[in-house]
């Protein structure tokens, strides 16, 4: 964890484009490769569990050096996470006046209708089931990035807290 924090500390004042909340190292690597290969993001931060995601987003605990207003342009959120599950993370993000406008895309292996319904009830922007096929997974991540980072328009967060 120290190496990651050192890397992130060097990026503390840079705009975060994607926060990837994924406990599976293989899925995280594939997603990061897809964004890098397609030149969709310059700054991707990965956290491994829901508690770490909340600490990062709200600039607390090991991430208290961060500017809290330097929020991600996109959060890719797995649902099945250790410590704090993805639905609870989503509920907290969407329940906060500043962070509720961050686009959150659930990228999960869960096909369960109840997970999808609850995600939308809590305010998720999109729900995508991870394709098992490598090429389809890469394509899905590329398409997510194209839409949410290049096409979608977000307000400046500083205008939201006046």
Phi and psi at 102, nearest 5°, equal: -70, 125
Span 128-141, pLDDT tens digits:
998 888 788 888 88
pLDDT at 8 (0 to 100): 41
Give this prediction's pTM.
0.84
How far apart, in whole angstroms, are the C-alpha atoms of residue 147 and residue 161? 26
Domains and CATH numbers, the chain: 2-147 (3.40.50.2300)
- In this predicted structure, the answer to whether residue 11 has a pLDDT above a threshold of 50 is no
Token readout for 19 is 């926060």
Weakest-pLDDT range from 14-18, 32-36, 109-113: 14-18
Q: What percent of the chain has pLDDT over 70?
A: 86
Average pLDDT over the chain, rounded to an integer: 84
Reported confidence tier of residue 14, pLDDT bands at 50, 70, 90:
low
Q: Is 148 helix (H, G, I), strand (E, B) or coil?
A: helix
pLDDT above 70 (res 24): yes
* Best CA proximity match to 78, nearest among 54, 41, 104, 45: 104
């Amino acid at each position: 964890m120290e190496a990651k924090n050192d890397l992130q500390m060097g990026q503390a004042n840079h705009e975060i484009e994607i926060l990837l909340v994924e406990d599976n190292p293989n899925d995280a690597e594939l997603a990061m490769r897809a964004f890098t290969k397609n030149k969709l993001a310059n700054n991707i931060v990965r956290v491994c569990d829901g508690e770490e995601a909340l600490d990062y987003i709200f600039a607390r605990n090991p991430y208290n050096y961060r500017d809290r207003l330097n929020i991600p342009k996109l959060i890719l959120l797995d649902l099945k996470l250790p410590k704090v599950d993805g639905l609870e993370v989503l509920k907290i993000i969407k329940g906060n006046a500043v962070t509720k406008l961050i686009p959150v895309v659930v990228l999960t292996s869960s096909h369960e209708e109840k997970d999808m319904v609850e995600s939308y009830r809590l305010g998720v922007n999109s729900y995508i089931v991870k394709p098992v096929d490598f090429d389809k997974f890469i394509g899905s991540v590329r398409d997510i990035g194209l839409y949410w980072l290049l096409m979608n328009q977000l307000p400046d967060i500083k205008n939201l807290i006046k």
